A and B are shown apart, each in its own frame.
Chain A
Amino acid sequence: MVESWIAPLEAGDPENAWDLFIERYRRLVFGAIRHYTTEPDEVMDVFARVCEALRDNDFVRLRRCAAHFDPTRPFSTWLVVVVRNLTIDWLRHRGGRRRLGVLAAALPPLRKRIFEYVFLEQRSHVEAYELLRSRDGAAFSFGEFLEELRDLYRTVTEGRSGRLIAELAIPPPAAEADPPNDPAVLAEQRAILAEALASLPPDDQLAVRLYVVDGIPAEEVARAVGYPSVKTVYNHVYRALALVRARLERAGIKRGDL
């Protein structure tokens, strides 16, 4: 695909290049931003931030991407990664911080603390739980903490900017998933799972993670790891789940026991 903005950029006419670039990609940029927030002020602020960052240091980001340009590569994938990262950056370090401050201030004390640890400081659930107990004197089980986290997650990810806030934290496990009540068991479970999957090549291990844990569609997983079709994803996932089941059964761990 011809990227008409690259030639003027390389020929020393960056403003012309920018006009061509933004004319061509503004829909994509706005579309990506609107995925995260539909608040008009926020959309325009983030758009301004994205433009600023792409123009920073004499268009260095665009120049770097142009240097790797390959007409068969979908340029939009790179742009989407950039816009996503800049949108999160805007939320955490720029105009969006105010929104986070307002959100936090409206929460009851315990939830506010959880929000700070999990969403603002981006700590793991277990780390946040341990800090709440040691630093803040909270006396509750890990299961009760997860319940609080589930309610908090639901509250702060509602509304027009909900998807944006959701990007800051790993979603809490569903209550139906019956997560263990003791974080130490989770660590043990992780070690056992790693051992169970160790016999699989790294590509297959990652495919299983992307599909089962991260919920990425099988077509996309197949493309990323280089499988010929989605069937290969299903085959590998099936094999991996069988290994996991066998290994955990040997260790005497079932979901209900955790």
Chain B
Amino acid sequence: MTCPAPESLVPQALGTSDAATTAHVESCPTCQAEVARLREAAGLLRGPASLESLRETAACLDELALADFVDGRLTSEAREAAVAHLLTCARCRAVVRATVRLRSEAAVARDVPDRRWRRWSVPVGLAAAAAVLLVIRPWGVLETGGLREPPLTSAAAPVPIAPRAVVAEVGRLIWSSVPKADLYRVRVYDGDGTVVWRLETADTTAALPAAVPLSPQYPYFWRVEAQVESNRWAASDLVEFRLAGPRR
């Protein structure tokens, strides 16, 4: 029985071997012992990861440098600096690992099921509401001292309560109140991001007029904004709902 070169046992020791090597190792005590030694050394090498932090620092590599490193395209000078940094930075290595993984998965990503994405990609409209006005609650009970950035605003946002997910009917829209807010703005969108109904009210509930056409099984979205100051609105998340029943 001819044993493979010891370095070809490396993938075996780290769990990514081919079938032929695996079959050989199973029947070869010498190679089994070598694999065990390699595993032990690899385990020792991994241990000090518990001393590392994923916090980003000013020295971290920018997105172009990280992408070029992954693709093996850095100039030798730039690579020397990148390698020196990566040897000491768990955060940048985590980005490298994620990029390698995402690139292989994202390439075969399935398409988006409907045309919703278009509205979301144009920030002057709906996406701006989603991304800019979205009000972040403070950490509150968490009291974390080490966060790099303060919350965007301390104002609370209303929370859509109903409808959510699949519902038998949409008689009323209900949301949580926000302290000191005396006006709420509600919008219902269809799957294309077109506003199908809007309303301003001081209440935390609103009846959806029967004249608003909602088709069963089609996705709709709604969000509510609370006026927290004269010219400032705190927006809820966008919530999806569908009407139950056969598609018309």
Contact = CB atoms under 8 A, between A and B. Distances in A.
Interface of A: 18, 22, 26-28, 30-32, 34-35, 40-41, 44-45, 47-49, 51-52, 55, 64-65, 68, 73-74, 76-78, 80-85, 92-95, 97-98, 100-101, 104-105, 116, 120-127, 146, 167-170, 172-173, 177-180, 183, 186-187, 189-190, 193, 202-203, 205-206, 208-218, 220, 223-226, 231, 233-235, 237-242, 244-245, 248, 253-255, 258
Cβ-closest 6 pairs across A and B: A31-B109, A31-B106, A121-B146, A190-B48, A238-B7, A48-B130
A120 B144 contact: yes
Contact of A31 (B10, B44, B68, B110): B110
B20 interface: no
Contact of A35 (B106, B120, B145): B106
Nearest to B53: A124
15 contacts: A27-B112, A28-B107, A30-B112, A45-B237, A52-B123, A94-B152, A189-B48, A209-B87, A210-B93, A214-B97, A220-B100, A224-B69, A224-B72, A237-B10, A245-B40
Given A76-B106, A190-B48, A234 B11 contact: yes
B140 A101 contact: yes
Interface string B122-146: 1100111011101011011111111
Nearest to B56: A122
Contacts of B139: 97, 101, 120
Interface in B72-123: 72-73, 79-80, 83-84, 86-87, 90, 93-103, 105-112, 116-118, 120-123
B130 A124 contact: no
A28 B109 contact: yes
- Residue of B48, B54, B97, B240 ringed by the most chain A CB atoms within 10 A: B48
B40 to A, nearest CB: 5
Interface of B: 6-11, 14, 16, 37-38, 40-55, 63-64, 66-73, 79-80, 83-84, 86-87, 90, 93-103, 105-112, 116-118, 120-123, 126-128, 130-132, 134, 136-137, 139-147, 149, 151-152, 237-240
Given A41-B240, A124-B51, A245-B40, 15 more contacts: A18-B121, A26-B117, A40-B240, A51-B120, A80-B102, A80-B106, A81-B67, A95-B136, A97-B137, A101-B141, A101-B142, A121-B147, A122-B53, A212-B42, A241-B42
Contact of A179 (B50, B80, B131): B50
A167 B99 CA distance: 12
A110 to B, nearest CB: 15
